[in-house]
Chain A
Amino acid sequence: MANITRDEIVHIAKLAMLNLTEQEIDNYTKDMQEILAYAEMINKIDTSATDETIGATEQKNKFRKDEVMEFKTREDLLQNAPSQDEGMFQIPKVIN
């Protein structure tokens, strides 16, 4: 059933670390219900005669050879880091 509750929207927002206002929660609940209702319509199509689809396209087996290609400039990779030290990203202490 195309039904999603306000509580579920709050839960998903929390998992995604989004801070939503009460108004936004209401809006997203409504939007999501509409999206799911549309998906429900597609769900009703009879696909018993169709091969199993994987992914959004018909493409398959796009593989890469196991050959090393070095990316040489660590400075470039780290250039946007707000803080770095000894070639590493420096972040607030993570308690593990």
Chain B
Amino acid sequence: MSKEDYEIVIGLEVHCELSTKTKIFCSCSTEFGGEPNTHCCPICMAMPGTLPVLNEKVVEYAVKAGLATNCKIAQNSKNDRKNYFYPDLPKAYQISQYDMPLCYDGYVNIETEKGEKTIRLERIHIEEDAGKLNHDDYGRGTFVDLNRAGVPLIECVSKPDLRSKEEVDAYLRKLKSIFEYIGISDCKMQEGSLRADVNVSVRKKGATEFGTRTEMKNMNSFRSISRAIEYEANRQIEVLENGGEITQETLRWDDISGKTFSMRDKEDAQDYRYFPDPDLVAIRLSDEYIENIKNSLPELPESRKKRYLEEYKLIPKAANFVTSSKYYSDIFEEAIAICKNPKTASNLLMSEVARILNEREEEPDQIPFSGKELGELVELIDKGTISSSISKKVLEELFENPKSPSQIIEEKGWVQISDEGAIKEVVKKILEANSQSVADYKAGKDRALGFLVGQAMKETKGKANPQMLNKMFIEEMKK
């Protein structure tokens, strides 16, 4: 048997920090950073005698997330205590939701190689984040900062519907994009505001029973998640092929060695003894409340995509790409309001901006310029002020030093040469140096013209107007 005979089964628990101003059960700020323990109070520090009060925005945001992912919204819901000991959890329990989550039975659609696929969501519930443990290298112990303790999270649990690392990537990006569109989270993976627990198992193709799964917790980069899934699936297949058995356990992914390690969980670590939090009261949502939130939802990616296809006549690939992130989509809309050229604006995002982000190992939310700059850049191309090859250099410059594109091309001397005299000079020079190509062209080999234009572009460092070059070469060679 080989790898190809197995199917990988993946389920995800995605934790997403909500962008409320205050924590879930107290009025402390959720702002990222800040001196240790300065966004804290007796409630989030679990001082005896304090009482939690639920932040109304947390319920609203979670319901928004549920509605945007086609979930049913529970009219009756509650908070439960999940009990475990860890120093980042001052109460020794996390307030979460157990058997009555706010949202359940949803789905999102993702694009795969084989077309659209539906990934079912089991539930979305609200809970609080833990604090941060800092370890020092001098053996002085561990230092506890509770600024993040009590920051609101939603946990979105998928059904085990994912079958490859590519599908996981598409699903995560889809969730991220939906949450960005509805404005409930900034979803910054690099700051840990979006992270996932990944459950992986393998089974023989055609099998109906699931294999034993392992779980990798707290993964916060697309790259590590992909690598971890690939490694873990291969590891499991190898164990099975060698006649072994998979142990259900929690694993730690190590990004440096590219391997998973057993966390040697105590056998009863999963026994959380949930029970209803007696400090909090029932959450009962009226039809009217849910309907109001439904009506307040902004335009979602699916609808924007439809509009881009119909109104702006984008090709499906471009429409998918631009709506894959709220950041791309917002930049695109701002840009075309200026340049009125959806095709070029989407092309630049899809080819150049995506390439640069990939090289920088960054995500669309890290694009340092706005649609204003992109729109202006497209205008400069359309007016013939710069060639499209220069526009790539302008984009690279925009990432380093975001300012007005016209200012960039002026400072760098990248303005396109459209002066007839100057172009003629270059054309004559290239013609003199390439008599063989001239002969070829005259003998009917059209490809020689392309070569000559290429040489002229090289001579002018990409600044000559290519249409003018073309025209002038033809004219000169007719003589």
Binding site for B on A (CB under 8 A): 11-12, 14-15, 17, 52, 54-57, 59-71, 74, 77-78, 83, 85-94, 96
Q: Are B56 and A94 in contact (CB under 8 A)?
A: no
Tell me how far the C-beta of B85 lies from the nearest C-beta in chain A, rounded to whole angstroms: 6
Q: Are B38 and A74 in contact (CB under 8 A)?
A: yes
Tell me how far the C-beta of A57 lies from the nearest C-beta in chain B, rounded to whole angstroms: 7
Tell me how far the C-beta of B228 lies from the nearest C-beta in chain A, rounded to whole angstroms: 17
In the assembly, what is the distance between CA of A63 and CA of B284, in Å? Answer: 11
Binding site for A on B (CB under 8 A): 20-22, 27-29, 35-38, 40-42, 45, 53-57, 59, 76-78, 83, 85-87, 100, 133-135, 139-145, 268, 271, 273, 276, 278, 280-284
The residue that B273 contacts in the complex, of A15, A52, A91, with Cβ under 8 A, is A15
In the complex, chain B residues whose CB is within 8 Å of the CB of A68: 21-22, 27-29
Tell me how far the C-beta of B261 lies from the nearest C-beta in chain A, rounded to whole angstroms: 12
Q: Are A66 and B141 in contact (CB under 8 A)?
A: no
The residue that A15 contacts in the complex, of B271, B282, B283, with Cβ under 8 A, is B271
In the complex, chain B residues whose CB is within 8 Å of the CB of A83: 141
Tell me how far the C-beta of B282 lies from the nearest C-beta in chain A, rounded to whole angstroms: 4
Q: Are A66 and B20 in contact (CB under 8 A)?
A: yes
Q: Are B282 and A88 in contact (CB under 8 A)?
A: no
* Chain B interface SS verdict (over half): loop
Q: Are A87 and B42 in contact (CB under 8 A)?
A: no
- 14 new A-B pairs (CB below 8 Å) besides A66-B56, A86-B143, A87-B37? A15-B268, A17-B85, A55-B78, A59-B282, A60-B282, A64-B54, A68-B27, A68-B28, A68-B29, A83-B141, A89-B37, A90-B143, A92-B142, A96-B135
21 contacting pairs across A/B (C-beta < 8 A): A52-B76, A54-B284, A55-B276, A55-B282, A60-B282, A60-B283, A62-B54, A62-B280, A63-B59, A66-B22, A69-B28, A70-B28, A77-B41, A86-B143, A87-B36, A87-B37, A88-B145, A89-B37, A90-B142, A91-B142, A96-B135
Q: Are A11 and B141 in contact (CB under 8 A)?
A: no
Q: Are B36 and A64 in contact (CB under 8 A)?
A: no
The residue that B134 contacts in the complex, of A55, A56, A88, with Cβ under 8 A, is A88
In the assembly, what is the distance between CA of A71 and CA of B45, in Å? Answer: 11
Tell me how far the C-beta of A46 lies from the nearest C-beta in chain B, rounded to whole angstroms: 21
Q: Are B21 and A66 in contact (CB under 8 A)?
A: yes
Q: Are B278 and A56 in contact (CB under 8 A)?
A: yes
In the complex, chain A residues whose CB is within 8 Å of the CB of B278: 55-56
In the assembly, what is the distance between CA of A74 and CA of B144, in Å? Answer: 13
The residue that B56 contacts in the complex, of A11, A64, A70, with Cβ under 8 A, is A64
Tell me how far the C-beta of B138 lies from the nearest C-beta in chain A, rounded to whole angstroms: 11
In the complex, chain B residues whose CB is within 8 Å of the CB of A77: 37, 40-42, 45
In the assembly, what is the distance between CA of A89 and CA of B36, in Å? Answer: 10
Contacts A14-B268, A64-B27 known; A57 to B85 CB distance under 8 Å?
no
Q: Are A93 and B141 in contact (CB under 8 A)?
A: yes
Tell me how far the C-beta of B288 lies from the nearest C-beta in chain A, rounded to whole angstroms: 13
Q: Are A61 and B29 in contact (CB under 8 A)?
A: no
Tell me how far the C-beta of A7 lies from the nearest C-beta in chain B, rounded to whole angstroms: 12
In the assembly, what is the distance between CA of A54 and CA of B268, in Å? Answer: 28
In the complex, chain B residues whose CB is within 8 Å of the CB of A67: 21-22, 27
Contacts A11-B268, A17-B85 known; A63 to B56 CB distance under 8 Å?
yes
Tell me how far the C-beta of A49 lies from the nearest C-beta in chain B, rounded to whole angstroms: 17
The residue that A62 contacts in the complex, of B143, B144, B271, B281, with Cβ under 8 A, is B281
In the complex, chain B residues whose CB is within 8 Å of the CB of A63: 53-56, 59
In the assembly, what is the distance between CA of A14 and CA of B200, in Å? Answer: 30
Q: Are B28 and A71 in contact (CB under 8 A)?
A: yes
